[in-house]
């Protein structure tokens, strides 16, 4: 082997340095490109990050405010519970003092309620069922009378006030369960204002009966026992309740109106059986029309259907 062929090539220091410089330059260029790319990406990402940081900061502010509100709520709740306990203790003390007095007053009120019911019954017997439109003094005034003529005079004076009669008309014409009868009812009021009283009495007698049937259980709607319907309504209600005077007065009125007609009452008072069976001519009397209109309003109010005109 030739010694010259087997010897390693000589390394030139100058060449080595040159290569190192070029490699370093290329590395710097690549680094600069990478940094430039990162800077561009940072410019794009920075607004989004700022928005996120702002949202996080705002959320932290809201969270702190909610914590403060919750602490205040807990404090108020605790104060309220303490106040409630104090109120209950105070109420118990007051109730223990008031209860004996209340019992005494209730014992005094019961006879008065009984007297009101008895007065309402008497008003019904005079031909005027007590209605919610009657004031207590008015009812007691009528109950103090001894004759139907006196009671009639009081009620005629009452409905002579045009506003009272207009309210009566409005209530009757707006009863939901009587809307099928609205046209003939409207004609009744027209005839009344013309003084044609006799022609409306038979129809009002029939529609009054319809109103009473509406108080019955639907299964007994077609019952002809009108008095029994009202009596059942009373038996199913609280005898000491608010409706007791109205129901009892209606019962006494129906008993009065549905008496057996034998001809002796002609010219004195209307009787349902006489009018509807054609044995009693309807009288041409204003008071008798008012009686039936008032009774119809009382019945529908008892059924919870009365509607007062808007003021």
pLDDT of residue 21: 77
145 and 86 in one domain? no
155 and 288 share one domain? yes
Tens of pLDDT along 229-238? 989 988 887 7
How many angstroms separate the CA atoms of 258 and 254, rounded? Answer: 6
Domain boundary residue, one of 68, 103, 138:
103
Is the domain of 225 the same as that of 188? yes
In angstroms, the Cα distances linking 27 to 1, 24, 33 are: 43, 5, 10
The predicted model gives 258-273 an average pLDDT of: 77
Domain annotation covers residue 279: yes
Same domain, 285 and 213: yes
Q: Does residue 259 form part of some domain?
A: yes
Structure-derived torsion over alpha carbons of residues 287, 258, 283, 150, reported in degrees to the nearest 10:
-30
From the list 225, 223, 204, the residue with the least C-alpha distance to 299 is 204
Q: Is 91 in the same domain as 133? A: no
Same domain? For 138 and 203 the reply is yes
DSSP per position, 28-73: HHHHHHHHHHHHHHHHHHHHHHHHHHHHHHHHHHHHHHHHHHHHHH
Q: For the residues 246-255, what does the mean pLDDT come to?
A: 92
pLDDT at 47: 73
Q: How many other C-beta atoms lie within 10 A of the C-beta of residue 53? A: 10
Q: Within a 13 Å sphere around the CA of 310, how many CA atoms are in the beta-carbon half?
A: 0
232, 212 contact by CB (below 8 A): no
3-state DSSP of 166-214: HHHHHHHHCCHHHHHHHHHHHHHHHHHHCCCCHHHHHHHHHHHHHHHHC
Report yes or no on 307 lying in a domain.
no
What percentage of residues in the chain have a pLDDT greater than 70? 68
Question: What pLDDT does residue 144 have?
Answer: 92
pLDDT higher than threshold 60 for residue 132? yes
Q: Please give the residue range of the domain that contains residue 46.
A: 14-103
pLDDT digits (tens, 9 = 90+) for 145-185: 989 999 999 999 999 999 999 999 999 999 999 999 999 99
Q: Which residue has the higher pLDDT, 85 or 213?
A: 213
Give the pLDDT score at 105: 44
Domain end position, chosen among 103, 118, 152:
103
Neighbours of 149 (CB within 10 A): 10
Taking 70 as the threshold, does the pLDDT of residue 56 lie above it? no
Q: Are residues 181 and 295 in the same domain?
A: yes
- Name the nearest CA neighbour of 152 among 267, 289, 248: 289
CB atoms under 10 Å from CB of 95, counted, come to: 10
What pLDDT, on a 0 to 100 scale, did the predictor assign at position 204? 97
Report whether 130 contacts 116 (CB < 8 A): no
Helix/strand/coil for 308: coil
Say yes or no to pLDDT of 74 above 60.
yes
Asked if residue 120 is part of any domain, the answer here is no
pTM: 0.62
Average pLDDT, the chain: 79
User: Residue 2: its pLDDT value, please?
Assistant: 53
Query: Within this chain, do residues 56 and 146 fall inside the same structural domain, yes or no?
Result: no
99 lies in the same domain as 130 = no
- Please check the confidence at residue 284 and state whether its pLDDT lies above 90: yes
Question: For 56-73, what is the mean pLDDT?
Answer: 68
- Mean pLDDT, rounded, for 47-73: 67
Distances (CA, A) of 129 to 42, 85, 191, 248, 302: 93, 50, 24, 9, 11
Residue 144 lies in a domain: yes
Is 82 domain-assigned? Answer: yes
Q: Find the range with the poorest average confidence among 3-17, 77-91, 168-182.
A: 3-17
Q: Are residues 88 and 152 in the same domain?
A: no
> How is residue 37 written in tokens?
């790319």
In a domain, 42, yes or no: yes
Shared domain for 93 and 130, answered yes or no, is: no
In this structure, the dihedral spanned by the alpha carbons of residues 297, 301, 305 and 306, taken in order and rounded to 10 degrees, is: 60
Return the structure tokens found at 306: 């009365």
- In this structure, how many other beta carbons lie within 10 angstroms of the beta carbon of residue 283? 18
- Count of structural domains within the chain: 2
* pLDDT given at position 108: 47
Question: Residue 187 domain-assigned?
Answer: yes
144 and 250 inside one domain: yes
């Amino acid at each position: 082997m030739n010694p010259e062929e087997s010897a390693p090539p000589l390394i030139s220091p100058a060449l080595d340095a040159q290569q190192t410089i070029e490699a370093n330059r290329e590395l710097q260029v690549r680094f600069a490109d990478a940094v430039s790319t990162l800077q561009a990406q940072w410019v794009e990402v920075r607004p989004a990050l700022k928005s996120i940081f702002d949202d996080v900061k705002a959320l932290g502010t809201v969270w702190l405010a909610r914590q403060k509100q919750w602490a205040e709520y807990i404090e108020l709740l605790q104060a309220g519970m303490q106040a409630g306990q104090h109120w209950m203790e105070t109420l118990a003390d007051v109730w223990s003092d008031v209860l004996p007095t209340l019992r005494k007053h209730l014992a005094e009120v019961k006879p008065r309620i009984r007297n009101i019911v008895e007065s309402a019954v008497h008003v019904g017997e005079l031909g005027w069922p007590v209605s919610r439109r009657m004031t207590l003094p008015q009812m007691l005034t009528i109950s103090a009378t001894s004759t139907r003529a006196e009671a009639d005079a009081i009620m005629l004076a009452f409905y002579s006030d045009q506003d009272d009669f207009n309210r009566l008309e409005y209530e009757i014409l707006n009863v939901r369960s009587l809307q099928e009868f609205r046209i003939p009812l409207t004609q009744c009021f027209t005839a009344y204002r013309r003084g044609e009283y006799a022609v409306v009495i038979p129809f009002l007698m029939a529609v009054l009966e319809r109103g009473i049937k509406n108080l019955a259980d639907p299964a007994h709607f077609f019952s002809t026992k009108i008095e029994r319907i009202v009596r059942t309504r009373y038996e199913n209600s609280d005898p000491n309740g608010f409706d007791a005077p109205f129901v009892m007065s209606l019962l006494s009125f129906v008993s009065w109106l549905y008496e057996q007609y034998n001809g002796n009452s002609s010219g004195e008072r209307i009787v349902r059986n006489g009018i509807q069976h054609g044995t009693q001519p309807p009288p041409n009397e204003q008071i008798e029309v008012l009686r039936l209109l008032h009774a119809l309003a009382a019945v529908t109010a008892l059924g919870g259907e009365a509607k007062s005109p808007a003021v």
